[in-house]
Amino acid sequence: MPASATGGAVSPKVELRNVDLRYFGLEGETEALKGISLSVAAGEFVAIIGQSGCGKSTLLSLISGILTPTEGRVLVDGKPVTGPTRKVGYMLQQDYLFEWRTILENAVLGAEIQGANMTKARARAAALLTKYGLGQFLHYLPRQLSGGMRQRVALARTLCTEPDVVLLDEPFSALDSQTRLALADEVTEILRREGKTVILVTHDIGEAISMAERVVVLSRRPGQVKSDHPIRFATPNGHRPAPFAARNAPEFNRYFNTLWQELEVHVEG
């Protein structure tokens, strides 16, 4: 199942057309997202930034099929999303490892739910975990691992089902700043090498610029697409620098200032 065998005229891997999402409550309707149109090409790494409460996570829930839009269409590979599929993997803000399962059992959770071949899934999960430096912890329990290690298990759990599209919802927000920077490098490298289409949601401007090749800014609630910035770094070899190195590139600060102004950050409370 190649990601986009269509070739030629690039049809977007993920597309949102005029998507509205409203939450209903007895006190009234809340508009979370309004008129969102966005397309992401296969293999692209896009970051979506916006202030907390602007509907960033809602956007990912729509693409993953957990939520259905109130209006508009969400397409993956040109087909409307009607529910969660194997094509899309979703990594949540925290690892949410099940404390009663071992690391390996946690990593195969998705495969287990999807009714995949468990022998293969276990082998794949073990290989992924070993690659992430967790080879000797396969039969440990989550509480015996550090935050960074746990988040690597969560990544293995997401990738074990072999999705084409990976959604990352502030995947490092629960980690301390050193682990965060190190893991950003690691995760970006892994996802790029595997050619995944990635949509990262974050409120951390630096994280967005350093990891993604495109940054989309969402306005305050109701979230609307405010601007869309390609992120380019001039490097001698033409390759994109790793996130940590990108933070030292001269372009980084320029992008940072532009995005900072667009976000209209006001200190609240």
Half-sphere exposure of 135 (CA within 13 A, CB side): 4
Q: Give the nearer residue to other proteins in terms of CB position, either 110 or 148.
A: 110
Query: Which residues, 6+ apart, have CB-to-CB distance to 157 below 8 Å?
Result: 106, 107, 108, 109, 110, 125
**242 touches 189 (CB < 8 A):** yes
Collapsing DSSP to helix, strand or coil, 193 comes out as: helix
Q: How far is the CB of 159 from other proteins (least distance, A)?
A: 12
Other C-beta atoms closer than 10 Å to the C-beta of 37 total 13
Query: Looking at 31-39, 91-99, 117-125, 248-256, which segment touches other proteins (CB under 8 A)?
Result: 91-99
Planar angle of CA 64, 154, 174, nearest 5 degrees: 95
Footprint on residues 54-73 left by other proteins (CB under 8 A): 64-66
What secondary structure, in 3-state letters, does 82-151 show?
A: CCCCCCEEEECCCCCCCCCCCHHHHHCHHHHHCCCCHHHHHHHHHHHHHHCCCHHHCCCCHHHCCHHHHH
Site membership for other proteins, residue 99 (CB under 8 A): yes
238/222 Cα distance (integer angstroms): 38
Q: How far is the CB of 179 from other proteins (least distance, A)?
A: 20
| Of positions 31, 112, 204, 251, contacts other proteins by CB under 8 A | 112
| Of positions 7, 8, 28, 83, contacts other proteins by CB under 8 A | 83
| Of positions 58, 85, 197, 210, contacts other proteins by CB under 8 A | 85
Footprint on residues 144-183 left by other proteins (CB under 8 A): 161
Site membership for other proteins, residue 242 (CB under 8 A): no
46/40 Cα distance (integer angstroms): 7
| Of positions 54, 104, 107, 109, contacts other proteins by CB under 8 A | 109
| Of positions 84, 147, 206, 241, contacts other proteins by CB under 8 A | 84
| Of positions 114, 173, 227, 253, contacts other proteins by CB under 8 A | 114
Q: Give the nearer residue to other proteins in terms of CB position, either 109 or 205.
A: 109
Q: How far is the CB of 110 from other proteins (least distance, A)?
A: 4
Q: Give the nearer residue to other proteins in terms of CB position, either 51 or 94.
A: 94
Site membership for other proteins, residue 90 (CB under 8 A): yes
Query: Looking at 40-48, 98-106, 125-133, 196-204, which segment touches other proteins (CB under 8 A)?
Result: 98-106
Helices H, strands E: what count in the chain?
A: 9, 10
